Amino acid sequence: MAILREALARDKVENEKRLNNKIKKGEAMSAVKEFIQNVHNFRDECLIDSNPPIEHVVLFDEAQRAWTLAQTANFMQRRKKHPNFKQSEPEFLISCLDRHPDWAVIVCLVGGGQEINIGEAGISEWIDSIKLKYSNWYIYISSRLTDSEYGAGRVLEEIRSRKNVIIRDELHLSVSMRSFRAENVSLLIKQLLDINVKEASATLVKVKDKYPILITRELHKAKQWLKDNARGTERYGIVVSSQAERLKPQAIDVKSPMDPIHWFLDSKEDVRSSYYLEDVATEFDIQGLELDWACVTWDADFRYNKNKWENWSFRGDRWNRIKNVERQRYQKNAYRVLLTRARQGMVIVVPRGDSSDPTRKSEYYDSTFDYLKTIGFTII
Protein backbone atom coordinates (compact mmCIF):
# COMPACT_ATOMS: atom_id res chain seq x y z
CA MET A 1 0.00 0.00 0.00
CA ALA A 2 2.77 2.44 0.96
CA ILE A 3 4.62 1.67 -2.28
CA LEU A 4 1.54 2.21 -4.43
CA ARG A 5 0.76 5.51 -2.72
CA GLU A 6 4.33 6.69 -3.06
CA ALA A 7 4.49 5.72 -6.74
CA LEU A 8 1.24 7.53 -7.54
CA ALA A 9 2.29 10.61 -5.57
CA ARG A 10 5.66 10.77 -7.36
CA ASP A 11 3.90 10.31 -10.69
CA LYS A 12 1.46 13.13 -9.93
CA VAL A 13 4.30 15.50 -9.03
CA GLU A 14 6.10 14.68 -12.30
CA ASN A 15 2.95 15.06 -14.40
CA GLU A 16 2.17 18.44 -12.84
CA LYS A 17 5.75 19.55 -13.41
CA ARG A 18 5.41 18.79 -17.12
CA LEU A 19 2.33 21.02 -17.14
CA ASN A 20 4.35 23.79 -15.40
CA ASN A 21 2.35 23.29 -12.22
CA LYS A 22 4.46 22.92 -9.12
CA ILE A 23 2.98 20.96 -6.26
CA LYS A 24 4.58 19.51 -3.18
CA LYS A 25 4.69 15.77 -2.76
CA GLY A 26 2.66 16.12 0.45
CA GLU A 27 -0.20 17.62 -1.57
CA ALA A 28 0.03 14.80 -4.10
CA MET A 29 0.04 12.21 -1.32
CA SER A 30 -3.09 13.73 0.22
CA ALA A 31 -4.88 13.41 -3.12
CA VAL A 32 -3.80 9.77 -3.44
CA LYS A 33 -4.98 8.92 0.08
CA GLU A 34 -8.48 10.11 -0.78
CA PHE A 35 -9.10 7.03 -2.90
CA ILE A 36 -6.52 4.48 -1.70
CA GLN A 37 -6.40 3.56 1.96
CA ASN A 38 -5.15 0.67 4.02
CA VAL A 39 -7.93 -1.81 4.83
CA HIS A 40 -7.02 -1.55 8.52
CA ASN A 41 -7.73 2.19 8.45
CA PHE A 42 -11.11 1.45 6.91
CA ARG A 43 -11.76 -1.14 9.62
CA ASP A 44 -10.76 1.23 12.42
CA GLU A 45 -13.04 4.00 11.14
CA CYS A 46 -15.96 1.56 11.08
CA LEU A 47 -15.18 0.55 14.67
CA ILE A 48 -15.49 4.17 15.81
CA ASP A 49 -18.44 5.24 13.65
CA SER A 50 -21.49 2.96 13.43
CA ASN A 51 -22.95 4.85 10.47
CA PRO A 52 -22.62 3.47 6.94
CA PRO A 53 -19.20 4.27 5.46
CA ILE A 54 -18.93 6.84 2.67
CA GLU A 55 -17.94 4.11 0.23
CA HIS A 56 -20.57 2.01 -1.50
CA VAL A 57 -17.98 0.08 -3.52
CA VAL A 58 -14.88 -1.32 -1.83
CA LEU A 59 -12.12 -3.31 -3.50
CA PHE A 60 -10.00 -5.51 -1.25
CA ASP A 61 -6.70 -6.58 -2.78
CA GLU A 62 -5.13 -9.77 -1.41
CA ALA A 63 -8.49 -10.60 0.20
CA GLN A 64 -7.30 -14.08 1.15
CA ARG A 65 -5.05 -12.47 3.76
CA ALA A 66 -7.92 -11.17 5.91
CA TRP A 67 -7.80 -12.53 9.46
CA THR A 68 -9.59 -15.42 11.09
CA LEU A 69 -11.87 -14.90 14.09
CA ALA A 70 -9.11 -15.94 16.52
CA GLN A 71 -6.54 -13.58 15.01
CA THR A 72 -9.00 -10.68 14.81
CA ALA A 73 -10.25 -11.16 18.37
CA ASN A 74 -6.68 -11.32 19.67
CA PHE A 75 -5.75 -8.11 17.85
CA MET A 76 -8.89 -6.29 18.94
CA GLN A 77 -8.29 -7.10 22.59
CA ARG A 78 -4.57 -6.26 22.59
CA ARG A 79 -4.49 -3.21 20.32
CA LYS A 80 -8.00 -1.77 20.16
CA LYS A 81 -9.27 -2.52 23.69
CA HIS A 82 -12.29 -4.40 22.31
CA PRO A 83 -12.59 -7.57 24.44
CA ASN A 84 -14.72 -10.51 23.35
CA PHE A 85 -14.77 -9.48 19.69
CA LYS A 86 -16.95 -12.04 17.88
CA GLN A 87 -16.28 -11.49 14.18
CA SER A 88 -13.54 -12.53 11.78
CA GLU A 89 -12.10 -9.72 9.69
CA PRO A 90 -14.11 -10.67 6.57
CA GLU A 91 -17.33 -10.84 8.59
CA PHE A 92 -16.72 -7.45 10.17
CA LEU A 93 -15.77 -5.81 6.86
CA ILE A 94 -18.92 -7.17 5.22
CA SER A 95 -20.95 -5.87 8.17
CA CYS A 96 -19.57 -2.37 7.57
CA LEU A 97 -20.87 -2.30 3.99
CA ASP A 98 -24.11 -4.00 5.06
CA ARG A 99 -24.98 -0.84 7.02
CA HIS A 100 -26.05 0.81 3.76
CA PRO A 101 -29.85 0.71 3.46
CA ASP A 102 -29.77 0.58 -0.35
CA TRP A 103 -26.80 -1.17 -1.93
CA ALA A 104 -23.09 -1.96 -1.62
CA VAL A 105 -20.49 -3.95 -3.53
CA ILE A 106 -17.40 -5.71 -2.21
CA VAL A 107 -14.81 -6.86 -4.77
CA CYS A 108 -12.35 -9.42 -3.38
CA LEU A 109 -9.18 -10.02 -5.40
CA VAL A 110 -7.81 -13.41 -4.43
CA GLY A 111 -4.47 -15.06 -5.10
CA GLY A 112 -4.32 -18.84 -4.93
CA GLY A 113 -1.92 -20.25 -2.34
CA GLN A 114 -0.93 -16.79 -1.13
CA GLU A 115 -1.63 -17.14 2.61
CA ILE A 116 1.78 -16.73 4.19
CA ASN A 117 1.20 -15.55 7.73
CA ILE A 118 -0.43 -16.91 10.87
CA GLY A 119 -4.11 -16.05 11.11
CA GLU A 120 -4.78 -15.46 7.41
CA ALA A 121 -8.20 -16.89 6.73
CA GLY A 122 -8.25 -17.46 2.98
CA ILE A 123 -11.22 -16.82 0.69
CA SER A 124 -13.35 -19.48 2.44
CA GLU A 125 -13.87 -17.15 5.43
CA TRP A 126 -15.50 -14.52 3.18
CA ILE A 127 -17.86 -17.12 1.73
CA ASP A 128 -18.66 -18.62 5.14
CA SER A 129 -19.46 -15.16 6.52
CA ILE A 130 -21.95 -14.41 3.76
CA LYS A 131 -23.47 -17.88 3.96
CA LEU A 132 -24.06 -17.71 7.71
CA LYS A 133 -24.82 -14.03 8.36
CA TYR A 134 -25.72 -12.18 5.15
CA SER A 135 -28.10 -14.37 3.19
CA ASN A 136 -29.53 -11.36 1.34
CA TRP A 137 -26.19 -10.66 -0.36
CA TYR A 138 -25.55 -11.87 -3.88
CA ILE A 139 -22.31 -13.79 -4.43
CA TYR A 140 -20.61 -13.67 -7.82
CA ILE A 141 -17.79 -16.17 -7.70
CA SER A 142 -15.24 -17.87 -9.93
CA SER A 143 -15.73 -21.53 -10.79
CA ARG A 144 -11.98 -22.02 -10.37
CA LEU A 145 -12.00 -21.61 -6.60
CA THR A 146 -12.18 -25.40 -6.42
CA ASP A 147 -8.47 -25.51 -7.37
CA SER A 148 -6.44 -26.83 -4.45
CA GLU A 149 -4.37 -23.70 -3.79
CA TYR A 150 -7.48 -21.60 -3.10
CA GLY A 151 -8.62 -23.91 -0.30
CA ALA A 152 -12.27 -23.05 -0.94
CA GLY A 153 -13.57 -26.25 -2.47
CA ARG A 154 -15.64 -27.20 0.58
CA VAL A 155 -17.48 -23.91 0.98
CA LEU A 156 -18.00 -23.56 -2.76
CA GLU A 157 -19.79 -26.90 -2.85
CA GLU A 158 -21.87 -25.92 0.17
CA ILE A 159 -23.21 -22.74 -1.44
CA ARG A 160 -23.79 -24.00 -4.99
CA SER A 161 -27.47 -24.64 -4.34
CA ARG A 162 -27.98 -21.48 -2.29
CA LYS A 163 -30.05 -18.71 -3.85
CA ASN A 164 -28.26 -15.53 -5.01
CA VAL A 165 -25.06 -17.43 -5.91
CA ILE A 166 -23.80 -16.88 -9.45
CA ILE A 167 -20.77 -18.92 -10.54
CA ARG A 168 -18.92 -17.54 -13.57
CA ASP A 169 -15.83 -18.77 -15.42
CA GLU A 170 -15.11 -15.20 -16.50
CA LEU A 171 -14.29 -14.14 -12.94
CA HIS A 172 -11.04 -16.12 -13.03
CA LEU A 173 -8.01 -14.28 -14.38
CA SER A 174 -6.64 -17.17 -16.42
CA VAL A 175 -3.78 -15.23 -17.99
CA SER A 176 -1.32 -13.77 -15.52
CA MET A 177 -0.93 -10.03 -15.92
CA ARG A 178 2.29 -10.21 -13.93
CA SER A 179 4.02 -12.67 -16.24
CA PHE A 180 2.85 -11.14 -19.50
CA ARG A 181 5.35 -13.21 -21.50
CA ALA A 182 4.04 -16.59 -20.38
CA GLU A 183 0.61 -17.50 -19.07
CA ASN A 184 1.85 -20.89 -17.85
CA VAL A 185 4.39 -19.65 -15.30
CA SER A 186 2.01 -19.88 -12.33
CA LEU A 187 1.01 -23.38 -13.42
CA LEU A 188 4.67 -24.37 -13.63
CA ILE A 189 5.37 -23.15 -10.11
CA LYS A 190 2.29 -24.97 -8.79
CA GLN A 191 3.48 -28.20 -10.42
CA LEU A 192 7.01 -27.67 -9.10
CA LEU A 193 5.78 -27.17 -5.54
CA ASP A 194 3.32 -30.08 -5.79
CA ILE A 195 6.23 -32.29 -7.01
CA ASN A 196 4.52 -33.15 -10.27
CA VAL A 197 7.79 -33.60 -12.15
CA LYS A 198 6.43 -34.88 -15.45
CA GLU A 199 3.81 -32.14 -15.68
CA ALA A 200 6.28 -29.43 -14.61
CA SER A 201 8.77 -30.55 -17.26
CA ALA A 202 6.09 -30.38 -19.96
CA THR A 203 4.98 -26.91 -18.84
CA LEU A 204 8.58 -25.70 -18.75
CA VAL A 205 8.93 -26.57 -22.43
CA LYS A 206 6.00 -24.24 -23.19
CA VAL A 207 7.39 -21.46 -21.00
CA LYS A 208 11.14 -21.29 -21.42
CA ASP A 209 11.37 -19.59 -24.84
CA LYS A 210 9.21 -16.68 -23.71
CA TYR A 211 10.08 -16.66 -20.04
CA PRO A 212 13.61 -17.85 -19.18
CA ILE A 213 14.11 -19.62 -15.84
CA LEU A 214 17.65 -20.65 -14.99
CA ILE A 215 19.27 -22.29 -11.98
CA THR A 216 22.74 -21.92 -10.52
CA ARG A 217 24.81 -22.59 -7.41
CA GLU A 218 26.63 -19.26 -7.61
CA LEU A 219 25.02 -15.98 -6.54
CA HIS A 220 27.51 -13.88 -8.50
CA LYS A 221 26.50 -15.64 -11.72
CA ALA A 222 22.86 -14.92 -10.99
CA LYS A 223 23.57 -11.23 -10.38
CA GLN A 224 25.43 -10.95 -13.66
CA TRP A 225 22.60 -12.73 -15.49
CA LEU A 226 20.10 -10.19 -14.17
CA LYS A 227 22.26 -7.27 -15.30
CA ASP A 228 22.83 -8.82 -18.73
CA ASN A 229 19.15 -9.43 -19.39
CA ALA A 230 17.51 -6.30 -17.99
CA ARG A 231 17.09 -3.44 -20.43
CA GLY A 232 16.80 0.25 -19.60
CA THR A 233 14.77 0.79 -16.45
CA GLU A 234 13.54 -2.82 -16.18
CA ARG A 235 13.75 -3.58 -12.48
CA TYR A 236 15.55 -6.54 -10.97
CA GLY A 237 16.34 -7.68 -7.43
CA ILE A 238 16.96 -10.55 -5.03
CA VAL A 239 14.07 -12.17 -3.17
CA VAL A 240 14.39 -14.73 -0.36
CA SER A 241 12.28 -16.52 2.21
CA SER A 242 11.87 -14.75 5.54
CA GLN A 243 13.10 -18.03 7.09
CA ALA A 244 16.33 -17.99 5.07
CA GLU A 245 18.56 -17.50 8.10
CA ARG A 246 21.65 -19.25 6.74
CA LEU A 247 22.33 -17.16 3.67
CA LYS A 248 24.64 -14.84 5.61
CA PRO A 249 27.74 -16.35 3.95
CA GLN A 250 26.16 -15.12 0.69
CA ALA A 251 26.00 -11.61 2.23
CA ILE A 252 22.22 -11.98 2.58
CA ASP A 253 20.73 -11.18 5.98
CA VAL A 254 16.94 -11.45 6.09
CA LYS A 255 16.90 -9.67 9.45
CA SER A 256 18.58 -6.58 8.03
CA PRO A 257 15.90 -3.91 7.54
CA MET A 258 15.18 -2.62 4.06
CA ASP A 259 12.89 0.22 3.00
CA PRO A 260 10.42 -1.17 0.44
CA ILE A 261 9.72 2.28 -1.02
CA HIS A 262 13.37 2.87 -1.89
CA TRP A 263 13.88 -0.78 -2.91
CA PHE A 264 10.99 -0.81 -5.40
CA LEU A 265 10.96 2.77 -6.66
CA ASP A 266 14.44 4.29 -6.58
CA SER A 267 16.89 4.34 -9.47
CA LYS A 268 20.06 2.39 -10.20
CA GLU A 269 22.11 5.19 -8.65
CA ASP A 270 20.54 4.68 -5.20
CA VAL A 271 22.29 2.09 -3.01
CA ARG A 272 18.94 1.35 -1.30
CA SER A 273 17.27 0.26 -4.53
CA SER A 274 16.76 -3.33 -5.66
CA TYR A 275 19.17 -2.66 -8.54
CA TYR A 276 22.15 -2.67 -6.19
CA LEU A 277 21.51 -6.35 -5.37
CA GLU A 278 22.50 -5.80 -1.75
CA ASP A 279 19.25 -5.50 0.20
CA VAL A 280 16.77 -8.33 -0.35
CA ALA A 281 12.99 -8.57 -0.22
CA THR A 282 11.13 -11.39 1.55
CA GLU A 283 7.70 -12.78 0.70
CA PHE A 284 6.15 -10.21 3.05
CA ASP A 285 7.84 -7.29 1.28
CA ILE A 286 7.04 -8.40 -2.24
CA GLN A 287 3.60 -10.03 -2.02
CA GLY A 288 1.24 -8.31 -4.44
CA LEU A 289 4.15 -6.59 -6.19
CA GLU A 290 6.55 -7.60 -8.92
CA LEU A 291 9.91 -7.13 -10.61
CA ASP A 292 10.80 -7.48 -14.25
CA TRP A 293 13.60 -9.94 -13.43
CA ALA A 294 14.08 -11.78 -10.14
CA CYS A 295 16.77 -13.77 -8.40
CA VAL A 296 15.25 -16.26 -5.96
CA THR A 297 17.90 -17.45 -3.50
CA TRP A 298 16.83 -20.73 -1.92
CA ASP A 299 17.88 -21.62 1.62
CA ALA A 300 17.62 -24.86 3.60
CA ASP A 301 14.35 -23.86 5.25
CA PHE A 302 12.36 -25.52 2.46
CA ARG A 303 14.21 -28.63 1.29
CA TYR A 304 13.43 -31.29 -1.24
CA ASN A 305 14.25 -34.75 0.11
CA LYS A 306 13.16 -38.15 -1.18
CA ASN A 307 10.16 -36.96 -3.19
CA LYS A 308 8.78 -34.62 -0.52
CA TRP A 309 9.34 -31.16 0.90
CA GLU A 310 10.77 -30.72 4.37
CA ASN A 311 9.99 -27.61 6.39
CA TRP A 312 12.58 -26.12 8.73
CA SER A 313 13.04 -23.01 10.85
CA PHE A 314 16.39 -21.78 12.13
CA ARG A 315 16.51 -20.88 15.81
CA GLY A 316 19.61 -20.12 17.84
CA ASP A 317 22.32 -22.32 16.35
CA ARG A 318 20.32 -25.05 14.58
CA TRP A 319 17.52 -25.93 12.21
CA ASN A 320 14.30 -27.16 13.81
CA ARG A 321 11.69 -29.20 11.98
CA ILE A 322 8.34 -27.47 11.42
CA LYS A 323 5.66 -30.01 12.30
CA ASN A 324 2.60 -27.77 12.40
CA VAL A 325 0.61 -28.38 9.19
CA GLU A 326 -0.58 -24.79 8.92
CA ARG A 327 2.96 -23.41 9.23
CA GLN A 328 4.12 -25.91 6.61
CA ARG A 329 1.45 -24.57 4.25
CA TYR A 330 2.50 -20.98 4.91
CA GLN A 331 6.11 -21.85 4.11
CA LYS A 332 5.17 -23.55 0.86
CA ASN A 333 3.07 -20.53 -0.05
CA ALA A 334 6.00 -18.24 0.77
CA TYR A 335 8.05 -19.96 -1.93
CA ARG A 336 5.05 -19.77 -4.28
CA VAL A 337 5.04 -16.00 -3.77
CA LEU A 338 8.80 -15.71 -4.32
CA LEU A 339 8.73 -17.81 -7.48
CA THR A 340 5.92 -15.83 -9.11
CA ARG A 341 7.15 -12.24 -8.71
CA ALA A 342 8.97 -11.77 -12.02
CA ARG A 343 7.31 -10.45 -15.17
CA GLN A 344 9.95 -11.50 -17.68
CA GLY A 345 12.20 -14.18 -16.21
CA MET A 346 14.14 -15.34 -13.18
CA VAL A 347 17.19 -17.17 -11.96
CA ILE A 348 17.07 -19.50 -8.95
CA VAL A 349 20.16 -19.81 -6.75
CA VAL A 350 20.60 -22.89 -4.58
CA PRO A 351 23.91 -22.44 -2.69
CA ARG A 352 26.41 -25.28 -2.50
CA GLY A 353 26.45 -25.42 1.27
CA ASP A 354 29.55 -26.12 3.31
CA SER A 355 30.38 -29.53 4.79
CA SER A 356 32.42 -27.84 7.54
CA ASP A 357 29.36 -25.87 8.70
CA PRO A 358 26.73 -28.07 10.42
CA THR A 359 24.04 -25.46 9.68
CA ARG A 360 24.81 -25.46 5.95
CA LYS A 361 25.56 -29.06 5.11
CA SER A 362 25.77 -29.74 1.40
CA GLU A 363 22.95 -32.29 1.55
CA TYR A 364 20.60 -29.57 2.78
CA TYR A 365 20.93 -27.91 -0.63
CA ASP A 366 22.07 -30.54 -3.15
CA SER A 367 18.80 -32.48 -3.25
CA THR A 368 16.80 -29.29 -3.94
CA PHE A 369 19.14 -28.33 -6.79
CA ASP A 370 19.02 -31.86 -8.21
CA TYR A 371 15.22 -31.77 -8.11
CA LEU A 372 15.13 -28.50 -10.08
CA LYS A 373 17.65 -29.95 -12.51
CA THR A 374 15.41 -33.01 -13.02
CA ILE A 375 12.55 -30.76 -14.11
CA GLY A 376 14.81 -29.41 -16.86
CA PHE A 377 15.83 -25.89 -15.86
CA THR A 378 18.93 -24.62 -17.66
CA ILE A 379 22.05 -24.39 -15.48
CA ILE A 380 24.42 -21.43 -15.55
pTM of the complete model = 0.78
Region for 288 from its dihedrals, namely left if φ exceeds 0, alpha if ψ lies in -120 to 50, beta otherwise: left
* Per-position b or e across 243-253, b if 16+ CB within 10 A of its CB: bbbbbeebebe
Spell out the domain ranges in the chain. Answer: 37-171, 185-379
> What pLDDT is recorded for position 112?
63
- Fill in the amino acid letter for 186: S
CB atoms within 10 A of CB 84: 7
> What pLDDT is recorded for position 310?
98
- pLDDT tens digits for range 317-360: 999 999 999 899 989 999 999 999 999 999 999 999 999 999 99
Backbone angles phi, psi at 68, to 5 degrees: -70, 170
Q: What residues contact residue 224 under an 8 Å CB cut-off, 6+ apart?
A: none
Backbone angles phi, psi at 57, to 5 degrees: -120, 125
Give the residue from 297, 281, 300 showing the smallest Cα distance to 289. 281
Residues of the chain with confidence (pLDDT) below 50: none
> What pLDDT is recorded for position 292?
96
> What pLDDT is recorded for position 113?
60
E strands in the chain? 57-60, 105-108, 139-142, 165-168, 213-216, 236-240, 291-297, 302-304, 309-315, 318-321, 342-349, 378-379
